[in-house]
Amino acid sequence: MKVTIDEDKCCGAGQCVLIAPEVFDQRDEDGIVVLLDAEPGADRHAAVHEAAAVCPAFAIEVSE
Amino acid sequence: MDVLIVGASAAGLSTAEALRRLGHDGRLTLLDAEPHLPYDRPPLSKQVLAGAWEPERARLRGQAQLDALEAEFVRGERAVSLDVAGRAVTTASGRVLRADAVVLATGLTPCRLPGQGGLAGVHVLRGLDHALTLRAHLTAGTRLVVVGEGVLGGEIAATARGLGLEVTLAGLGPAVLGDQLGPFVSGLLTRTHAGRGVRLRLGVAVEGLEGEGGRVTGVRLATGETLPADVVVVAVGSRPATGWLDGSGLALGDGVECDSRCRAAEGVYAVGDVASFHHEELGRRLRLENRTNATEQAQTVAANVLGADRPYTPIPYFWTDQYDVKIQAHGLPSPAAEVTVTEGDPEQHRFAALYREGGQVTAVLGWNMPKQARLLRQQVLVQPLTTA
């Protein structure tokens, strides 16, 4: 799995961090997404898919 | 199994995606009254209205991603009735769509003022077409009156000021977002609007619209004052779009009344703005008009359609961007709550605050502090967001 993020689209909602805190974080100053792990292990795939699905700005892309 | 989703905006589309992701391989049909590809609504009052984004950028998904869903999209067709027992939806053209499960995601209909329909220059903002029509009239120097001091009214006023319009914001509440966020935060927000040059007429009822030659000329207040206007936006709230379900036998109160599983009847579910559900942690009924709720609730609805038995117990969450202020609120802030700033400094335009009622933390709010607000969210006394 490969995860990419689009900082321009991100609205700082933080939904991804709530669902997959090992993979995503937020910048302190403005809450924009920070990618911690671009190639997460299999045990995190379900959470990453859900994070991408609930992102209100559609700023997370996942490819297998 | 075949699934029919009525409404292909954020909640409906997210439900479709979640169904596929969870392994649904039967037929999937999305019916929508609008002709557009599914688009997102929060940018309509901000980036799209400001002209910073072309409408295509507000699309929820690209064509390739929609194709990958292997769903049938029926666009530009309004649902007019539901046969609950037969799980069949009839459209305005007389077409009948049947499925094993029906998901209702028809969203909201904006409320209007009496007499609004007959006057040119009076707008509501709910859909993409509304935003594009309004945008064409927002030229510098134009006198705009925004009626409604809620999230939408505040955002429209902010966007219009950014475009150089003369803006007056009128509303029944005492402050911008006063009903949602209470006196402390709404007071700061109201001062922000005043500081940006918005003329405020708050705590006063709007009596009606004035016009001449079929075109609006002003907004008449209960105080007797008339606010001159070239353009008026009415943002006085919305109603769940359930008119088409009258007579279906479904319980319709404030929205489609569902159980804690978001189920309105056997094989019939509701999701997003239109859904009123029983929140088991709070022990009461809740209906949320939040963008984040649309996608989050969709995950639960999709799982339950496919046989799971998941209660939906979200921590409500909404955000609003007005000028350079980004407010994010987790939980259920209420005007009655006691508000304590726990991080940052309101004077520095950056802080996080806790809302407490009866000694319990009921909400967390960030003012230009999204990450800190999210970190404080675990103090809100409802269950955290869980994964599938």
Asked whether the predicted pLDDT for residue B178 surpasses 80, the reply is yes
Same domain? B152 vs B224: yes
Provide long-range contacts, Cβ within 8 A and 24+ apart, for B165-168: B165/B138, B165/B139, B165/B140, B165/B141, B166/B141, B166/B142, B166/B199, B167/B197, B167/B198, B167/B199, B168/B143, B168/B144, B168/B198, B168/B199, B168/B200, B168/B201, B168/B219, B168/B227, B168/B229
On whether both B208 and B260 belong to a single domain, the answer is: no
User: What's B332's domain CATH number?
Assistant: 3.30.390.30
What value does the mean pLDDT take over residues B269-274? 98
Q: Residue B236 corresponds to which tokens in the numbers above?
A: 């006085």
Of A14, A20, A56, the CB nearest to B295: A56
Whether residue B219 sits in one domain with residue B134: yes
Residues B185 and B90 in one domain: no
B237, B150 Cβ separation under 8 angstroms: yes
Please tell me the predicted confidence (pLDDT) of residue B382. Answer: 53
Give yes or no: residues B259 and B227 share one domain: no
- List, for residues B100-158, the tens digit of each pLDDT value: 999 999 999 999 998 898 899 999 999 999 999 999 999 999 999 999 999 999 999 99
Q: Does residue B16 sit in helix, strand or coil?
A: helix
CB–CB of B296 and A15 under 8 A? yes
- How many structural domains is chain B composed of? 3
Q: What is the ipTM, given to two decimal places?
A: 0.90
Boundary-marking domain end, from B191, B220, B236: B236
Instruction: Please report the pLDDT score of residue A64 as a whole number.
Output: 81
Q: State the smallest CA–CA distance between residue B118 and chain A in angstroms.
A: 36
Domain boundary among B210, B236, B262: B236
Q: Does B99 share its domain with B247?
A: yes
CATH code for position A32:
3.30.70.20
Q: Determine what percent of chain B is predicted with pLDDT higher than 70.
A: 98
One domain, residues B218 and B247: no
Q: Are residues B207 and B145 in the same domain?
A: yes
Give the distance from residue A20's alpha carbon to the nearest chain B alpha carbon, in angstroms.
9
Q: What is the CA radius of gyration of chain B?
A: 21
CATH number of the domain within which B33 lies: 3.50.50.60
**Cβ within 8 Å of A, B 6-45:** 10, 14, 17-18, 21, 40, 42
B62 in reach of chain A (CB within 8 A): no
In a domain, B314, yes or no: no
* One domain, residues B88 and B151: no
Best CA proximity match to B365, nearest among B173, B200, B188:
B188
3-state class (DSSP) for residue B236: coil
Point out the residue among A14, A31, A50 whose CB comes nearest to the CB of B387.
Answer: A50
In a domain, B68, yes or no: yes
Which domain range does residue B361 map to? 324-379
Per-chain mean pLDDT for chain B? 95
Residues B339 and B357 in one domain: yes
pTM of the predicted structure, to 2 decimals: 0.95
Picking from B60, B319, B321, the nearest residue to A58 by CB comes out as: B60
**Is B90 within a domain?**
yes
Q: Are residues B127 and B181 in the same domain?
A: yes
Residue-number span of the structural domain to which A34 is assigned: 2-63
Please give the tally of structural domains in chain A. Answer: 1
**Is residue B95 located within the same domain as residue B132?**
no
Domain end call among B258, B277, B305: B305
